[in-house]
Structure 1
């Protein structure tokens, strides 16, 4: 059963969660004011696993103006020297294979759960978009102590096939056990993804019309599909625990915005997160 939420409820829930974080008493660890530095050459560092999740209010499908609750996995593996590096709530699960402290390169993945034609009346007759796995690489760079730049490039297969990518910049402000960050976002995708989520094939148009959902044939090409911004506030409670609240705004553009399936080009996401980090010991690889 889907959980429907309004934008006002979203804002109230996020504010309540933020206030509750401030009311909690815990032995917190201060966030660093600069990017971590790599360990001295020859040092074998411990590795740390961060795992957790977030509950988000998201559009029922890309382009919808109705919202539903959705979980998201938090997963990250890092060396001890990068343990307190900034990680955004919308970073996809990743592991760095090359890390100088200010510059990191590694592997990244994402699980796209797809789209069900029963999610919304606008989708009736279109069939489902199956679950897809996206695998690829990422690179991030601390241009300054307070500015992180990150890019991801992934290839998806399953419910759709094609390239997807994200570009992000985050302006970071730490204060004791709190850390605030805000920055712009840009996403792009090839035609395989765009057609799956925003296109209508001739067969789908006939099927949709048959069930009382008249839609024109529409071909969605690749390119930039959205731009926006994300703001987040996290608190380090110490002993490995970290919690946060966040919100994102995205504006669909191009073929994504022009699609007959798009009810609103303005897309919002809001949520709360909780994660735990623990020491896995020395690496075996």
Structure 2
């Protein structure tokens, strides 16, 4: 189901993932359509296999903890083939291997996740942070599990709790991240849907050290104080999404417009690090606008 979304807006990189995962979700209303009230299966593009492709524009921090903002493109592909759902995770993907049962009260989510993390690799506007040097690209592999409760307040809404756990296998931060989230999704009418999400990011010591510590050599190059970062809760955040089907009927596919706004607050050593506390901000904002086509 398209609206099985993991929302992680704790850093700039996670905000991209959140935006990509929610982008074009206005089609979700059709998937919970009651067969007695909704369109016949022949008119419902989601009755079988489907794919949504699209592109958007993201405005967000230039790195996790920055107070400088960049504009960047955001390609997206999302869909379901033979009952197996797939969705973007920023520069990466997540797969749900458990097929959903039509009109089920509860759906389960379980599958692999792969994400590439480009934080502080490029597009750093702050010359002081840039003097610390570019960081390597991390490739994080792991799993995603969750549960979705359908028909919470009415026939077409849902409440989804999800949890990601991933490890870097590319030799960048060599650490582990965890991302719990809770999302409420509801249609407003046949053309407009909204969702509201709460989320958090947890980092281990290796991750914290790689992205937030400053060693003596880095201190000499940048003028920032030496700082040793420890793992812990990296951020908490909230997001809102609105999707609009442009012909007024999500069930027939076609074009849709998505709008996303998210806020996250860096915590603990992610907040105390000089790259955040001196050169950036613990308050992180991201916005996404995108256009998708479903067939």
User: 8 Å contact 1:200–1:219 — kept in the other structure?
Assistant: yes
Secondary structure, counterpart of 2:111 in structure 1: strand
1:190, distance to aligned residue in structure 2 (A): 1.6
| 1:126 partnered with 2:132 | yes
Call closer, same or farther: CA 1:64–1:184 in 2, change over 3 Å.
same
What TM-score do the two structures reach when normalised by structure 1?
A: 0.72
Q: Counterparts of 2:34 and 2:230 in 1: how far apart (Å)?
A: 41
Q: Counterparts of 2:34 and 2:209 in 1: how far apart (Å)?
A: 41
| 1:147 partnered with 2:149 | no
Q: Counterparts of 1:35 and 1:110 in 2: how far apart (Å)?
A: 32
Call closer, same or farther: CA 1:127–1:89 in 2, change over 3 Å.
closer
Number of residue pairs aligned between Structure 1 and Structure 2: 238
Note the 1:209-228 alignment, pairs <5 A. Answer: 214-228=223-237
Q: Counterparts of 2:210 and 2:255 in 1: how far apart (Å)?
A: 38
User: 8 Å contact 1:74–1:93 — kept in the other structure?
Assistant: no
Call closer, same or farther: CA 1:51–1:132 in 2, change over 3 Å.
farther
| 1:74 partnered with 2:76 | yes
Call closer, same or farther: CA 1:69–1:110 in 2, change over 3 Å.
same
Secondary structure, counterpart of 2:207 in structure 1: helix
Q: Counterparts of 1:275 and 1:107 in 2: how far apart (Å)?
A: 25
RMSD of equivalent CA atoms: 3.2
Note the 1:28-177 alignment, pairs <5 A. Answer: 31-32=29-30, 34=32, 47-79=49-81, 93-101=93-101, 102-115=107-120, 116=122, 119-145=125-151, 146-156=158-168, 157-174=170-187, 175-177=189-191
Tell me, which stretches of 5 or more residues in structure 2 are unaligned? Answer: 1-25, 36-46, 102-106, 152-157, 247-251
What TM-score do the two structures reach when normalised by structure 2?
A: 0.70
Provide the residue aligned with 1:272 in structure 2: 289
Q: Counterparts of 1:191 and 1:62 in 2: how far apart (Å)?
A: 16
Secondary structure, counterpart of 1:31 in structure 2: helix
Provide the residue aligned with 1:183 in structure 2: 197
Q: Counterparts of 2:75 and 2:232 in 1: how far apart (Å)?
A: 27
Tell me, which stretches of 5 or more residues in structure 1 are unaligned? Answer: 1-27, 38-44, 209-213, 279-285
Q: Deviations over 1:17-67 (max 9, x none)?
A: xxxxxxxxxxx9782484999xxxxxxx95434333332111111111111
Secondary structure, counterpart of 1:122 in structure 2: helix
User: 8 Å contact 1:30–1:178 — kept in the other structure?
Assistant: no
